[in-house]
A and B are shown apart, each in its own frame.
Chain A
Amino acid sequence: MSSQPSLAMSATHGASPAAGTPAIEALDLVRTYDTHLGVVRRKRIQVEAVRGVSFEVRPGELFGLLGPNGAGKTTTIKMLITLLLPTSGTARVMGHDVIRETTEVRRLIGYVFGGDRGLYDRVSALDNLRYFAELYGVEPSEQKHRIGALLEMVGLTGREGEKVEGYSRGMRQRLHIARGLLHDPEVVFLDEPSIGLDPVGARELRQTVRSLTDAGKTVLLTTHYMFEADALCDRIAVINDGKIVALGTGTDLKAAVANRTIIEIETFGVASEALDGLRADPDVVEVNVEERDQSQILLVQSEHGTRITQRLLTLLGDTRVGKVVAREPTLEDAYIHLIASTGGADGAAARASLEMGS
């Protein structure tokens, strides 16, 4: 992708909020869904997807909403971009109410989501961009220049005449971003944009995301990839089971586990009884298991440094042990700790969701 993106239009919306007004403000957002169980005897049930989410995003900030699958990230974002009505609570974007002032909000925001959907496959990328430029109210005199600049920015110049159905996932994702920026939005919502991308594609995407804040945009990024949030975001809110369980900078979040040491023990065929034995040790705070092809990596968190290592190995009994490594906790450990300690998903599930993206 080009390293010199040209993001700003010659004339901007002039919609900056009053000084001190957050770019995004969510206050006690709640969203429940009605769904049904059974076929013959249908039983109506209510699912609480978001349960009182509050946060503020400052203008120009890159804010991350991090959580496992089903935590409520997309539901929160859809309320903020006016696609869903909150069951209760309020939210404002650049000072405009997302429930009542939908047109104003829609003029100011761009929305990009990950995955294969959201584009017209049977026409070219250029046709897609022209179409959405029209829908987003980009002035005809501005369209050609704007589309050209965005194609350059996302590295699709020269490929714009090809049908989208022939695009790779990475190219589609970059086209999504170009589409979401056509009308030069003040606030950009990126909903898991790197999902399914290969490592190179994901890295290029992160560069593009970073360039958005360099151009003065406010960005709300949802992801379940810890390293992505860590690399990009000024602040991160961790959401789990519909609630924000932590909010702060990466350093703030890491502080929750800063006094811990992570002892990684490679085992081959560890029994659940042995794991129970580790968990029962009074000096062990948390044990998570990472499954590898032939082995398991036990991630033992303790506040007693490496002093307990020998005891841990004794507790494992006859289990065949490979490498043993002690290290400082990372943000990933902090995230897993937060998710595991707030219910909804255990550490293993949280780690699994992270690994899917690494």
Chain B
Amino acid sequence: MIPLPRSLRLVWFVTWFNVRMLLASEFFVLTTFITPLIFATLGFLLFHSGGETAGQTLLYVALGAGMMGVWSTTLFGCGGAIAWQRWEGTLELLVSAPSRYDYILAGQTFGAVVLGFYGIVATLAWGALLFGMPIQATFPLILPLSIAAAVVALGSLGMLIATSFVLYRHANALSNLLEYPIWLIAGLLVPVTTLPLWVQAIGWLLAPKWGMDAIREAAIGSSPPWLAIGMCLVLAVIYYVAARVMLRVVLDKARRDATLALR
């Protein structure tokens, strides 16, 4: 077997470790595993009461609810993991390790995002079992690609957001602030076409919007979601580069302001 390059091995190892750490948190497990089902149930009932019971509509709701869970998990997992490490006193050890901290942060972020994608699987199963939703995909071979692109894009965005947690111990206020508005702006809850154009324009810069588009179009769309997948990848690169630049600035500032050890 060919050994993984050092950097990839490190990211993979940190991802795996972070998944284990998150699963060891009852609070995280509860919110990650239950919240998407609550979102989906509310969505199904709302659409049912409006007479919208077509299979494609239910799939639209289930995928949106799942993605809302993914976004919440990304925010909580990225920020929460760093806040947690502050509390446990391991953040300084990670920053002062000889490995590049952006790889460590990437691993932590992807750990959270990968767990978050459970939400999509759960809401689909929930919809099928309780609301008779059909499990189908217009482009079944492209769907895994869409999911992978969404994971990468959300992970990179999560990493960019996580840089603020390295510097500020109360950055979780930022993650709370970003949760609900992004659900709306990215079209997870309602179609973005119902929003003003300037709000839609903000959504174009956000990974959840394109990730959602990629997955929905692959599942219930009429044409392959190449644009959405491409945008996910482009945004992932932009976020990652921005995160690296930010991280350099943030770590320098943390060394200057002595904030790494603060709880």
List chain A positions with a Cβ less than 8 A from chain B: 33-34, 78, 81-85, 103, 106-107, 111, 113, 115, 117-123, 127, 131-132, 134-137, 140, 179, 183
Contact = CB atoms under 8 A, between A and B. Distances in A.
Most buried by B among A78, A115, A131: A131
B96 A127 contact: no
Given A83-B255, A85-B255, A123 B20 contact: yes
B191 interface: no
Contact of B98 (A84, A85, A103): A103
B255 A82 contact: yes
Nearest to B94: A135
Contact of B89 (A33, A118, A127, A183): A118
A43 B194 CA distance: 48
A117 B95 CA distance: 15
Contacts of A81: 96
Contacts, number: 77
A137 B98 contact: yes
Contact of B99 (A117, A123, A127, A135): A135
Contacts of B260: 83
B98 A107 contact: yes
B93 A118 contact: yes
Contacts of A134: 9-10, 13-14, 99
Given A106-B97, A122-B24, A135-B14, 12 more contacts: A82-B96, A83-B92, A85-B252, A106-B96, A113-B89, A119-B89, A122-B21, A122-B25, A123-B20, A123-B21, A135-B10, A140-B3
Nearest to B101: A135
Nearest to A111: B96
Interface of B: 3, 6, 9-10, 13-14, 17, 20-21, 24-25, 88-90, 92-99, 104, 252, 255-258, 260-261
B255 A137 contact: no
B37 to A, nearest CB: 25
Contacts of B6: 137
A131 B17 contact: yes
B128 to A, nearest CB: 34
Q: Interface residues of B: mostly helix, strand, loop or mixed?
A: helix
A121 B20 CA distance: 12
B13 A131 contact: yes
Contacts of A117: 88-90
A119 B98 contact: no
A34 B257 CA distance: 8
A113 B255 CA distance: 18
A136 B258 contact: no
A131 B25 CA distance: 18
Contacts of A118: 88-90, 92-93
A136 B97 contact: yes
A120 B10 contact: no
B205 to A, nearest CB: 33
B88 A119 contact: yes
Q: Which of A106, A115, A135 has the most CB of B within 10 A?
A: A135
Contact of B97 (A78, A122, A135): A135
Nearest to B255: A85
A192 to B, nearest CB: 13
A83 B96 contact: yes
| Nearest 3 A/B pairs, CB to CB | A117-B89, A122-B24, A135-B97
A303 to B, nearest CB: 44
Given A33-B258, A84-B255, A131-B13, A120 B21 contact: yes
B98 A106 contact: yes
27 contacts: A78-B261, A83-B92, A83-B95, A83-B96, A83-B255, A83-B261, A84-B255, A85-B255, A103-B98, A106-B97, A106-B98, A107-B98, A113-B89, A117-B88, A119-B90, A120-B88, A122-B25, A123-B20, A123-B24, A127-B17, A131-B13, A134-B9, A134-B13, A135-B14, A135-B94, A135-B97, A135-B98
A100 to B, nearest CB: 12
B152 to A, nearest CB: 22
Contacts of B94: 135
Contacts of A113: 89
B17 A137 contact: no
B9 A120 contact: no
Contact of A136 (B89, B98, B257): B98
A122 B13 CA distance: 17
A179 B93 CA distance: 10
Contacts of B10: 134-135
A87 B255 CA distance: 11
A111 B20 contact: no
A121 B84 CA distance: 11
Q: Which of B9, B10, B95, B258 gathers most chain A CB within 10 Å?
A: B258
Nearest to B253: A85
Contacts of A106: 96-98
A144 to B, nearest CB: 15
B97 A121 contact: no
Q: Which of B89, B92, B98, B256 has the most CB of A within 10 A?
A: B98
Contacts of B20: 123, 127
Nearest to A116: B89
B90 to A, nearest CB: 6
A84 B258 contact: yes
B197 to A, nearest CB: 42
B86 to A, nearest CB: 10
A34 B253 CA distance: 13
A162 to B, nearest CB: 14
